[in-house]
Protein backbone atom coordinates (compact mmCIF):
# COMPACT_ATOMS: atom_id res chain seq x y z
CA UNK A 1 0.00 0.00 0.00
CA UNK A 2 1.27 3.43 -0.98
CA UNK A 3 0.79 6.42 1.34
CA UNK A 4 1.26 9.71 -0.49
CA UNK A 5 0.79 13.33 0.54
CA UNK A 6 1.71 15.24 -2.61
CA UNK A 7 -0.47 15.65 -5.69
CA UNK A 8 2.34 15.14 -8.21
CA UNK A 9 3.21 11.81 -6.59
CA UNK A 10 -0.42 10.70 -6.88
CA UNK A 11 -0.56 11.82 -10.51
CA UNK A 12 2.53 9.76 -11.37
CA UNK A 13 1.16 6.60 -9.78
CA UNK A 14 -2.31 6.95 -11.31
CA UNK A 15 -0.80 7.55 -14.75
CA UNK A 16 0.93 4.17 -14.44
CA UNK A 17 -2.34 2.49 -13.49
CA UNK A 18 -4.36 4.04 -16.30
CA UNK A 19 -1.62 3.25 -18.80
CA UNK A 20 -2.02 -0.40 -17.78
CA UNK A 21 -5.79 -0.20 -18.25
CA UNK A 22 -6.56 -0.67 -14.57
CA UNK A 23 -9.85 0.64 -13.19
CA UNK A 24 -9.86 2.90 -10.14
CA UNK A 25 -12.34 3.03 -7.28
CA UNK A 26 -12.21 6.05 -5.00
CA UNK A 27 -13.42 6.45 -1.41
CA UNK A 28 -13.12 10.04 -0.15
CA UNK A 29 -13.22 10.35 3.65
CA UNK A 30 -12.34 12.66 6.51
CA UNK A 31 -10.68 9.78 8.33
CA UNK A 32 -11.32 8.20 11.74
CA UNK A 33 -12.42 5.15 9.80
CA UNK A 34 -15.25 2.96 11.07
CA UNK A 35 -17.19 0.03 9.63
CA UNK A 36 -19.16 2.34 7.37
CA UNK A 37 -15.96 3.43 5.65
CA UNK A 38 -14.73 -0.16 5.52
CA UNK A 39 -17.93 -1.16 3.71
CA UNK A 40 -17.19 1.49 1.07
CA UNK A 41 -13.63 0.22 0.69
CA UNK A 42 -14.81 -3.38 0.33
CA UNK A 43 -17.36 -2.41 -2.33
CA UNK A 44 -14.68 -0.50 -4.22
CA UNK A 45 -12.30 -3.43 -3.89
CA UNK A 46 -14.84 -5.83 -5.41
CA UNK A 47 -15.50 -3.66 -8.44
CA UNK A 48 -12.12 -2.11 -9.35
CA UNK A 49 -8.52 -3.08 -10.00
CA UNK A 50 -7.17 -0.34 -7.72
CA UNK A 51 -8.66 1.44 -4.71
CA UNK A 52 -7.75 4.93 -3.54
CA UNK A 53 -8.72 6.21 -0.10
CA UNK A 54 -8.35 9.90 0.66
CA UNK A 55 -8.21 11.21 4.23
CA UNK A 56 -8.68 14.95 4.47
CA UNK A 57 -10.66 17.00 6.99
CA UNK A 58 -11.86 19.67 4.60
CA UNK A 59 -12.02 23.08 6.31
CA UNK A 60 -14.26 24.55 3.60
CA UNK A 61 -17.23 22.46 4.68
CA UNK A 62 -17.14 23.49 8.33
CA UNK A 63 -19.02 26.60 9.36
CA UNK A 64 -18.40 28.98 12.26
CA UNK A 65 -18.86 27.22 15.58
CA UNK A 66 -18.72 23.73 14.05
CA UNK A 67 -16.34 20.98 15.12
CA UNK A 68 -13.40 21.40 12.74
CA UNK A 69 -10.81 21.65 15.51
CA UNK A 70 -12.26 18.77 17.53
CA UNK A 71 -13.17 16.47 14.64
CA UNK A 72 -11.75 13.03 15.61
CA UNK A 73 -8.49 12.09 13.93
CA UNK A 74 -6.35 8.94 14.16
CA UNK A 75 -3.96 8.59 11.23
CA UNK A 76 -2.23 5.48 12.58
CA UNK A 77 -5.55 3.65 12.96
CA UNK A 78 -6.70 4.77 9.52
CA UNK A 79 -3.55 3.62 7.77
CA UNK A 80 -3.75 0.23 9.47
CA UNK A 81 -7.43 -0.20 8.55
CA UNK A 82 -6.75 0.80 4.96
CA UNK A 83 -3.90 -1.69 4.62
CA UNK A 84 -5.90 -4.52 6.20
CA UNK A 85 -8.73 -3.96 3.73
CA UNK A 86 -6.66 -3.88 0.58
CA UNK A 87 -6.43 -0.18 -0.23
CA UNK A 88 -3.77 0.44 -2.87
CA UNK A 89 -3.22 4.15 -2.24
CA UNK A 90 -3.94 6.38 0.73
CA UNK A 91 -3.89 10.05 -0.20
CA UNK A 92 -3.16 12.14 2.90
CA UNK A 93 -2.91 15.78 1.81
CA UNK A 94 -2.48 18.76 4.09
CA UNK A 95 -4.53 21.96 3.92
CA UNK A 96 -1.58 23.60 2.16
CA UNK A 97 -1.52 20.83 -0.44
CA UNK A 98 -5.22 21.11 -1.22
CA UNK A 99 -5.49 24.88 -0.93
CA UNK A 100 -2.05 26.41 -1.60
CA UNK A 101 -3.66 29.78 -2.32
CA UNK A 102 -7.08 31.37 -2.15
CA UNK A 103 -9.42 30.03 -4.80
CA UNK A 104 -10.00 32.12 -7.92
CA UNK A 105 -13.20 30.22 -8.80
CA UNK A 106 -15.80 29.54 -6.12
CA UNK A 107 -18.37 26.77 -6.45
CA UNK A 108 -21.92 27.29 -5.18
CA UNK A 109 -24.61 24.63 -4.95
CA UNK A 110 -28.02 26.10 -5.78
CA UNK A 111 -30.28 23.03 -5.58
CA UNK A 112 -30.71 20.13 -3.13
CA UNK A 113 -29.15 22.18 -0.31
CA UNK A 114 -31.83 24.35 1.29
CA UNK A 115 -33.32 21.37 3.13
CA UNK A 116 -32.18 18.75 5.66
CA UNK A 117 -28.68 19.50 7.01
CA UNK A 118 -27.97 22.04 4.31
CA UNK A 119 -30.68 24.33 5.66
CA UNK A 120 -28.81 24.90 8.91
CA UNK A 121 -25.31 24.72 7.41
CA UNK A 122 -25.07 27.47 4.78
CA UNK A 123 -22.02 27.01 2.59
CA UNK A 124 -21.38 23.46 3.76
CA UNK A 125 -22.10 21.81 0.43
CA UNK A 126 -20.20 24.52 -1.43
CA UNK A 127 -17.17 23.24 0.46
CA UNK A 128 -18.09 19.64 -0.27
CA UNK A 129 -18.36 20.08 -4.04
CA UNK A 130 -15.19 22.18 -4.09
CA UNK A 131 -13.03 19.55 -2.41
CA UNK A 132 -14.64 16.70 -4.35
CA UNK A 133 -14.03 18.42 -7.67
CA UNK A 134 -10.38 18.75 -6.72
CA UNK A 135 -10.16 15.16 -5.47
CA UNK A 136 -11.87 13.76 -8.58
CA UNK A 137 -9.41 15.64 -10.78
CA UNK A 138 -6.45 14.40 -8.71
CA UNK A 139 -7.48 10.74 -8.43
CA UNK A 140 -9.26 10.33 -11.81
CA UNK A 141 -11.49 7.47 -10.61
CA UNK A 142 -13.82 5.31 -12.66
CA UNK A 143 -16.14 4.81 -9.68
CA UNK A 144 -16.62 6.78 -6.48
CA UNK A 145 -18.28 5.40 -3.34
CA UNK A 146 -20.43 7.25 -0.81
CA UNK A 147 -22.49 5.98 2.10
CA UNK A 148 -26.21 6.65 2.16
CA UNK A 149 -26.01 7.70 5.80
CA UNK A 150 -25.47 11.19 4.42
CA UNK A 151 -28.09 10.88 1.70
CA UNK A 152 -28.13 14.62 1.04
CA UNK A 153 -24.43 14.52 0.25
CA UNK A 154 -25.06 11.64 -2.17
CA UNK A 155 -27.78 13.70 -3.86
CA UNK A 156 -25.48 16.71 -4.17
CA UNK A 157 -22.63 14.59 -5.57
CA UNK A 158 -25.09 13.08 -8.03
CA UNK A 159 -25.94 16.60 -9.22
CA UNK A 160 -22.28 17.64 -9.37
CA UNK A 161 -21.32 14.69 -11.56
CA UNK A 162 -24.30 15.10 -13.88
CA UNK A 163 -24.15 18.90 -14.17
CA UNK A 164 -20.46 18.93 -15.05
CA UNK A 165 -20.36 15.73 -17.12
CA UNK A 166 -17.70 14.23 -14.89
CA UNK A 167 -16.49 10.85 -16.20
CA UNK A 168 -17.09 9.02 -12.93
CA UNK A 169 -19.81 6.65 -11.74
CA UNK A 170 -21.42 7.39 -8.38
CA UNK A 171 -22.01 4.23 -6.33
CA UNK A 172 -24.28 4.78 -3.29
CA UNK A 173 -23.71 2.20 -0.54
CA UNK A 174 -26.34 1.38 2.13
CA UNK A 175 -25.78 2.69 5.65
CA UNK A 176 -23.81 0.44 7.99
CA UNK A 177 -25.47 0.10 11.38
CA UNK A 178 -24.81 -1.14 14.87
CA UNK A 179 -26.76 -4.23 15.96
CA UNK A 180 -29.40 -1.99 17.55
CA UNK A 181 -29.89 0.04 14.37
CA UNK A 182 -27.82 3.13 15.11
CA UNK A 183 -26.03 4.37 12.03
CA UNK A 184 -22.28 4.08 12.46
CA UNK A 185 -20.54 7.44 12.67
CA UNK A 186 -17.20 8.85 13.81
CA UNK A 187 -19.17 11.15 16.11
CA UNK A 188 -20.95 8.37 18.01
CA UNK A 189 -18.07 8.28 20.50
CA UNK A 190 -19.38 11.60 21.88
CA UNK A 191 -22.65 10.10 23.08
CA UNK A 192 -23.13 9.56 26.81
CA UNK A 193 -24.21 6.08 27.91
CA UNK A 194 -27.82 7.22 28.23
CA UNK A 195 -27.75 8.97 24.87
CA UNK A 196 -26.26 5.88 23.27
CA UNK A 197 -29.16 3.80 24.58
CA UNK A 198 -31.70 6.29 23.22
CA UNK A 199 -30.09 7.02 19.85
CA UNK A 200 -31.34 3.92 17.95
CA UNK A 201 -34.82 5.41 18.29
CA UNK A 202 -33.98 7.75 15.40
CA UNK A 203 -34.01 4.87 12.93
CA UNK A 204 -36.96 3.27 14.73
CA UNK A 205 -38.97 6.45 14.20
CA UNK A 206 -38.05 6.65 10.51
CA UNK A 207 -39.07 3.03 9.98
CA UNK A 208 -42.35 3.76 11.77
CA UNK A 209 -42.99 6.57 9.29
CA UNK A 210 -42.16 4.28 6.37
CA UNK A 211 -44.57 1.63 7.63
CA UNK A 212 -47.36 4.22 7.59
CA UNK A 213 -46.75 4.54 3.86
CA UNK A 214 -46.84 0.76 3.46
CA UNK A 215 -50.20 0.81 5.24
CA UNK A 216 -51.56 3.30 2.70
CA UNK A 217 -50.85 6.71 4.22
CA UNK A 218 -49.83 9.22 1.54
CA UNK A 219 -50.00 12.57 3.37
CA UNK A 220 -46.57 14.08 3.90
CA UNK A 221 -47.72 16.20 6.85
CA UNK A 222 -49.33 13.25 8.63
CA UNK A 223 -46.22 11.08 8.25
CA UNK A 224 -43.88 13.80 9.49
CA UNK A 225 -46.06 14.60 12.51
CA UNK A 226 -46.47 10.92 13.42
CA UNK A 227 -42.75 10.25 13.05
CA UNK A 228 -41.87 13.26 15.21
CA UNK A 229 -44.33 12.26 17.92
CA UNK A 230 -42.91 8.71 17.93
CA UNK A 231 -39.35 10.01 18.28
CA UNK A 232 -40.20 12.51 21.02
CA UNK A 233 -41.50 9.64 23.13
CA UNK A 234 -38.27 7.67 22.69
CA UNK A 235 -35.49 10.22 23.29
CA UNK A 236 -34.80 13.40 25.18
CA UNK A 237 -32.52 14.59 22.40
CA UNK A 238 -33.65 17.79 20.69
CA UNK A 239 -35.08 17.14 17.22
CA UNK A 240 -33.47 19.44 14.68
CA UNK A 241 -35.68 18.33 11.81
CA UNK A 242 -37.78 15.56 10.35
CA UNK A 243 -38.33 16.01 6.63
CA UNK A 244 -39.91 14.02 3.82
CA UNK A 245 -38.78 14.96 0.31
CA UNK A 246 -38.47 13.54 -3.19
CA UNK A 247 -35.19 11.73 -3.77
CA UNK A 248 -32.64 12.45 -5.14
CA UNK A 249 -34.12 15.84 -6.18
CA UNK A 250 -34.81 16.79 -2.53
CA UNK A 251 -37.88 18.77 -3.52
CA UNK A 252 -40.98 19.42 -1.42
CA UNK A 253 -43.97 17.23 -2.19
CA UNK A 254 -47.50 17.07 -0.79
CA UNK A 255 -48.12 13.35 -1.16
CA UNK A 256 -46.10 10.19 -1.59
CA UNK A 257 -46.18 9.40 -5.31
CA UNK A 258 -42.48 8.89 -6.13
CA UNK A 259 -39.24 7.78 -4.41
CA UNK A 260 -38.75 9.80 -1.23
CA UNK A 261 -36.40 10.25 1.69
CA UNK A 262 -37.60 10.43 5.27
CA UNK A 263 -34.75 11.96 7.25
CA UNK A 264 -34.07 13.19 10.76
CA UNK A 265 -31.42 15.02 12.73
CA UNK A 266 -31.24 15.05 16.54
CA UNK A 267 -29.09 17.13 18.87
CA UNK A 268 -27.57 15.48 21.92
CA UNK A 269 -25.30 17.24 24.42
CA UNK A 270 -22.09 16.91 22.42
CA UNK A 271 -23.14 15.61 19.03
CA UNK A 272 -25.76 15.94 16.31
CA UNK A 273 -26.83 12.67 14.70
CA UNK A 274 -28.46 12.22 11.30
CA UNK A 275 -30.22 9.27 9.75
CA UNK A 276 -32.62 8.49 6.92
CA UNK A 277 -34.50 5.89 4.96
CA UNK A 278 -35.18 6.11 1.21
CA UNK A 279 -38.23 4.26 -0.10
CA UNK A 280 -40.62 4.14 -3.03
CA UNK A 281 -44.24 5.36 -3.15
CA UNK A 282 -45.44 2.10 -1.59
CA UNK A 283 -42.96 2.17 1.29
CA UNK A 284 -40.52 -0.42 -0.04
CA UNK A 285 -36.95 0.34 1.05
CA UNK A 286 -34.50 1.54 -1.59
CA UNK A 287 -31.77 2.54 0.87
CA UNK A 288 -32.11 2.09 4.62
Tell me: is residue 187 an annotated ligand-binding position: yes
Yes or no: say if 143 and 25 are a contact pair by the CB < 8 Å rule.
yes
Residue 124 annotated to the active site:
no
Distance CA 208, CA 210 (A): 5
Tell me: is residue 149 an annotated ligand-binding position: yes
Tell me: is residue 234 an annotated ligand-binding position: no
Strands (DSSP E) contained in 181-247 are 238-246
List 37, 77, 281, 284, catalytic entry: 37
Tell me: is residue 166 an annotated ligand-binding position: no
Tell me: is residue 272 an annotated ligand-binding position: no
Tell me: is residue 127 an annotated ligand-binding position: no
Tell me: is residue 185 an annotated ligand-binding position: yes
Question: CA nearest 10: which of 79, 98, 90?
Answer: 90
Distance CA 162, CA 170 (A): 10
Helices (H) and strands (E) in the chain, counts: 10, 10
HSE-up of residue 72 (Cα within 13 Å, Cβ side)? 16
Yes or no: say if 54 and 27 are a contact pair by the CB < 8 Å rule.
yes
Tell me: is residue 284 an annotated ligand-binding position: no
Tell me: is residue 35 an annotated ligand-binding position: yes
Residues contributing to the annotated binding site for (R)-pantoate? 61, 153
Give the active site residues. Answer: 37
Residues contributing to the annotated binding site? 30-37, 61, 147-150, 153, 176, 184-187
Residues contributing to the annotated binding site for ATP? 30-37, 147-150, 176, 184-187
Residues contributing to the annotated binding site for beta-alanine? 61
Amino acid sequence: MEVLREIDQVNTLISEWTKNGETIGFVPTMGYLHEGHIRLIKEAKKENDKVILSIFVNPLQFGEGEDLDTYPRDEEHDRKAAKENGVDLVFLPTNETMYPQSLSVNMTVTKRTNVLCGKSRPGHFDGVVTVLTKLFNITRPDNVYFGMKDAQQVAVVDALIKDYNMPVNLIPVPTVREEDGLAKSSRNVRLSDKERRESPSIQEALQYGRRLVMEGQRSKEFIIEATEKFLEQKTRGKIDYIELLSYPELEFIEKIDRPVILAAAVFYDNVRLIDNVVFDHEGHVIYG
